[in-house]
Amino acid sequence: MLSEGKNCSLRPRASLLKSGRGYGEPAGSITLRNQRGSCIIRVATCSTQRTPTQEKSYVTHAVHTGSPDLHSTLQDAYRAFQAKGLKLNLTRGKPSPAQLDLSAELLSLPGRTGAYAEDATDCRNYGGLQGLAEARRLFSGILGAPPEQVVVANNSSLALMHDTVVYSLLKGTCDSALPWSRQGEIAFLCPVPGYDRHFKICADYGIRMIPVALRENGPDMDEVESLVAQDSSIKGMWCVPKYSNPTGAVYSDAVIERLAAMKTAAPDFRLYWDNAYAVHHLTEERIAIANILELSERHGHPNRPLIFASTSKITLAGAGLALFASSKENVKWLLARFTPRTIGPDKINQLRHVLFLKDEEGILRLMDEHRSLLAPKFQAVLEVFASKLAHVADLSWTRPKGGYFISLDVPKGCARRVVALAKQAGIELTPAGATHPHGNDPEDRTIRIAPTFPDLSEVAQAAEGVAICVLLADAEKLPAHISRTRASAEAVAGHGSDAGRLRPAEPA
Ligand code: PMP
């Protein structure tokens, strides 16, 4: 059984920190023992780097010491976890019941006699395509647009994104010579890892997806600029600029400015600016990002950004409001598309949100309450990963400052196996590959962890189970002669390539 305490001295992170060495410096060795206390593997010179949101550990030298084999010890740990018969779910980023309870008051608003808007509109009736003025004012600061450039719609911003893509395909944007569907093959840039439902929209309508690397401060802009400058079939790009799904990346001001300023071969190119986590902070720092609408206008591309957000993870995920903001021209275009589709949105829901949230300060106060429920769950996962996985070569995870996910990059080629092992141990994880277009993660390494829905003790247990599955999947990939005989393994420091994996070397 692999565990902390007297049976196992696997506490690399703690010892690194206690030793007082700086990140990136040689840090000595760690030893992994089995239940009987005999040494299975000794890992030497563990050099660790920490970036603001990402924990990475690079094992530079590992020596198997000839004890009973690592693989069977991990199998014991796995079977012991399986025997608990748990049913845990870390798949979708849903708010927990306790979070939904924070907005319970919504269910009794606006009351039997209060269905009138500030301009005396009877909210029970048809009309008001753009949404109530007071609702547009309420969200204008969060969206970074004046109220007249805001649209408040029914539940689900994803539906709004979907519809906007479809309208562009069928009718074209206000800058299109022809509908996108009559311009030959069209493509979207897809920062990866990214949100599977964005990719699903493209997949469903035959839009080619071009993956671009998402870094800690946003997409790789050299790659983005060069692609959009040459290829007029690239009509759009998915962006989750703050606390992105799933890595938690926050686009830097410099990246946002480049997105606003870049030259695109397509005159009707659009940034699908999905600011789903605009106010979903996990720390006391309320991170603010640059205003894409203002910057795009300043750089001569006022119609480029289509900004989306929602109250799904502010109030009630199944009964929220979807939000849209853009240039005056794009708002006019969208409302023209709405006209044949609907006579108006659910204004009662808009009114109850205004009455409940009151103003932007009210939203931020509510989000502080969400944070107090969510931050301990994220912390629990991060603590388990730090204590169980810090020694594993070629493995990293993100430490998001907001949003709903942690992204775990397991050693190359292991993600599917980890998800399958977890399933057999009662833990549902998002399918491996979901973070990439067509479910194809070419390195088979990214796993999205969603800690929000289960309660705190379940989250910690699930993270323990995931860690065991990762260790087992990794051990299974070691060549048999390494895991079964006295041998040594050497790995060169590195990340994102084969370089950090344990490799056979001279016998010790
Ligand atoms: N965008 C992102 C990036 C998300 O993570 C989610 C929910 N997981 C959504 C949109 C869905 O938002 P809504 O409920 O408003 O459709």
DSSP letters for 173-214: -TT-SS-GGGSSS-EEEEEES--HHHHHHHHHTT-EEEEEEE
Cβ of 10 less than 6 Å from ligand 1? no
Q: Is the CB of 163 under 6 A from ligand 1?
A: no
What's the count of helices (H) and strands (E) in the chain, helices before strands?
Answer: 15, 18
Q: Determine if ligand 1 sits within 6 Å of the CB of residue 247.
A: no
**CA terminus-to-terminus distance, the chain:** 25
Q: Residue 306, CB half-sphere, CA atoms under 13 Å: how many?
A: 26
Q: Model confidence over 103-139: pLDDT tens digits?
A: 999 999 999 999 999 999 999 999 999 999 999 999 9
CA distances from 244 to 278, 404, 463 (A): 10, 9, 21
For residue 2, what pLDDT is reported? 33
Q: Which amino acid is at 367?
A: M
CA angle at residue 22 from 17 to 26, to 5 degrees? 95
Q: What backbone phi and psi angles, to 5 degrees, belong to 153?
A: -120, -175
Nearest CA to ligand 1 atom 4: 276
Cβ–Cβ < 8 Å for 406, 488: no
Q: 274 CB under 6 A from ligand 1?
A: yes
- In whole angstroms, what is the distance from residue 401 CA to residue 242 CA? 10
CA of 453 from ligand 1 middle (Å) equals 15
Mutation test of ligand 1: which of 195, 238, 273 has the most ligand atoms closer than 8 Å to its C-beta? 195
Contact present, 206 and 308 (Cβ < 8 Å) = no
Nearest CA to ligand 1 atom 2: 276
User: From the CB of 309, is ligand 1 less than 6 Å away?
Assistant: no
Q: Judge if the beta carbon of residue 57 lies within 6 A of ligand 1.
A: no
Q: Is the CB of 441 under 6 A from ligand 1?
A: no
CB of 150 closer than 8 Å to CB of 139: yes
Residue from 310, 374, 407, 435 to probe ligand 1 pocket by mutation (most atoms less than 8 Å from CB): 310
CB 158 within 8 A of CB 318: no
Per-residue confidence (pLDDT) for residue 53, from 0 to 100: 54
3-state class of 1 per DSSP?
A: coil
Closest residue CA from atom 6 of ligand 1: 276
d(CA 193, CA 245): 8
Residue 195 in contact with ligand 1 by CB distance below 6 A: yes
Is the distance from the beta carbon of residue 155 to the nearest atom of ligand 1 less than 6 Å? no
Residue 311 alpha carbon, nearest atom of ligand 1? 15
Q: Whose CA is nearest to atom 5 of ligand 1?
A: 245
For residues 491 and 501, the answer to whether their CB atoms sit within 8 Å is yes
CA dist 187 and 432 (Å) reads 24
What's the pLDDT score for residue 268? Answer: 98
Nearest-CA neighbor of 118 among 128, 107, 108?
A: 128
Distance CA 508, CA 494 (A): 22
pTM to 2 decimals?
0.85
Structure tokens of 21?
């060495």
Pairing of strands 503-504, 39-51: unpaired
Residues near 405 by Cβ (< 8 Å), separated by ≥ 6? 93, 245, 246, 247, 248, 448, 449, 450
Q: Look at ligand 1, atom 11, and give the residue with the nearest C-alpha.
A: 158
Give the H/E segment covering residue 372. Answer: helix 360-389
How far apart (Å, rounded) are the C-alpha atoms in residues 393 and 114?
61
Answer yes or no: is the C-beta of 91 below 6 A from any ligand 1 atom: no
CA of 392 to the centre of ligand 1 (A): 32
- Cβ burial of 20 (10 Å; 0-12, 13-18, 19+) is exposed
Task: Identify whether the C-beta of residue 299 lies closer than 8 Å to the C-beta of residue 260.
Answer: yes
pLDDT in tens, the chain (508 residues): 333 332 232 323 222 222 222 222 233 344 454 444 444 444 433 334 444 455 443 332 333 343 457 888 999 999 999 999 999 999 879 999 999 999 999 999 999 999 999 999 999 999 999 999 999 999 999 999 999 999 999 999 999 999 999 999 999 999 999 999 999 999 999 999 999 999 999 999 999 999 999 999 999 999 999 999 999 999 999 999 999 999 999 999 999 999 999 999 999 999 999 999 999 999 999 999 999 999 999 999 999 999 999 999 999 999 999 999 999 999 999 999 999 999 999 999 999 999 999 999 999 999 999 999 999 999 999 999 999 999 999 999 999 999 999 999 999 999 999 999 999 999 999 999 999 999 999 999 999 999 999 999 999 999 999 999 999 999 998 765 454 332 223 222 222 233 233 322 222 2
* Stretch (H or E) spanning 238: strand 234-239
312 lines ligand 1 (CB under 6 A): yes
Alpha carbon of residue 487 to chain centroid:
39
Element (H, E) at 341: none
Q: Is 85 left (phi over 0), alpha (psi -120 to 50) or beta?
A: left
Question: What's phi and psi for 127, nearest 5 deg?
Answer: 110, 180
| Cβ atoms of 229 and 263 closer than 8 Å | yes
DSSP 68: S
Q: Which atom of ligand 1 is nearest to the CA of 195?
A: 3
Q: Is 276 in the pocket of ligand 1 (CB under 6 A)?
A: yes
